[in-house]
Amino acid sequence: MNLQKNLNPALSLPVMPLPSGELDRLGFWQFADEAKEATEALADRRMAVIAELPVDALRQVCTQYRFFTIDYISDLSLLVAKLPFGGLRSLLGRILHEELGEGAADKAHPAIYDRFLASIGVTPEARERCLPANRAILSGLTSEMSRRGPAFGVGLRGMGGECLCQTYLSVLFEHLRKHPWIRANDASIDWEFWTIHTGEQDIIHGELTRQAIDDYIREDPDALPELAQGYERSITAWNHFWQNIFEASVSRASEVR
């Protein structure tokens, strides 16, 4: 089977430019919905190869997502610090609290994810290896989050993290479970992270976040252009992040064959 062949047609980034002209609230949500659909379709095409990867390449793919979960938490704290008091700030504060394990360090989501990685055979040394290109993307997001105002940050991390991330994770989970090695070792794999992030809890988070962001835009319509810019930026960054992962892990796997 030619993994490279399977990879290439799937990798073009969806072109999701913001609609030109003045954007209103409904126009923005329409753009966001279309972006989510395009992301879902792209994720599905990309992830189809997962079930056929050698187990080492599969481990590398899963390891890279770890760095996203870690940086998401610190970016979310920056966003919570910047936002004005209100529903969105309180909701994102609650999500941050959950991400950090609600006071229990071993329940922090990166810790839960590390247990999943260990259960599929990722060693403590291997789990520290972030692709340099993805390190650059994550650092870029953090510096933009620091430099820009809260509305941009809401688009960049408030929406991107909750909406696009969940889409990719659900698709990844679906394909991951089809992998022969994963199927053979299902009983010994720690699935807690996936139970949290691909189930009802994450769908509820997404819906609550959307409502709180909608209220935020209603209260401050001037925030919309910046928010939309942040969201557009987040889509591009997120797609590049996964493109880098697949190029590094899947291409290498096809060269070895």
- Residues near Fe ion (CB under 5 A): 109
C-alpha–C-alpha distance, residues 257 and 249, integer Å: 13
Which of 109/157 has CB closer to Fe ion? Answer: 109
**104 or 187: CB nearest Fe ion:** 104
The CB-of-213 to Fe ion minimum distance in angstroms stands at 18
DSSP string, 103-156: T-GGGSHHHHHHHHHHHTT--TTGGG---HHHHHHHHHHHHHHHHS-HHHHIII
Q: What is the DSSP string of 146-162?
A: HHS-HHHHIIIIIIIII
What minimum distance in Å lies between the beta carbon of 254 and Fe ion?
31
The CB-of-126 to Fe ion minimum distance in angstroms stands at 22
Q: Is 152 in contact with 230 (CB distance < 8 Å)?
A: yes
Residue among 31 and 193 whose Cβ is closer to Fe ion = 193
Least distance to Fe ion, CB of residue 145, Å = 17
Q: How far is the CB of 257 from Fe ion (least distance, A)?
A: 34
> Least distance from C-beta 255 to Fe ion, angstroms?
33
Q: How far apart are CA 95 and CA 134, in angstroms?
A: 24
CB of 20: closest distance to Fe ion in angstroms? 35
What is the chain's percent helix, strand, coil content, to nearest 5?
A: 80, 0, 20
CB-wise, 57 or 154, nearer to Fe ion?
A: 154
Calpha distance 166→173 (Å, rounded): 10
Q: Identify the H or E element spanning 232.
A: helix 224-256
Residue number with CB closer to Fe ion (127 or 248): 127
Residue 109 or 233 with smaller CB distance to Fe ion: 109
- Contact between 159 and 32 under an 8 Å Cβ cutoff? The reply is yes
Cα 201 to its chain centre, rounded Å, is 16
Residues 6+ apart with CB under 8 A from 202: 166, 169, 196
Q: Which two tokens stand for residue 156?
A: 């960049």
Q: What is the CA angle 179-37-62, rounded to 5?
A: 30
Q: Which residue is nearest to Fe ion (CB)?
A: 109
Cβ nearer to Fe ion, comparing 28 with 67:
67
- Neighbour tally for 27: CB within 10 Å: 15
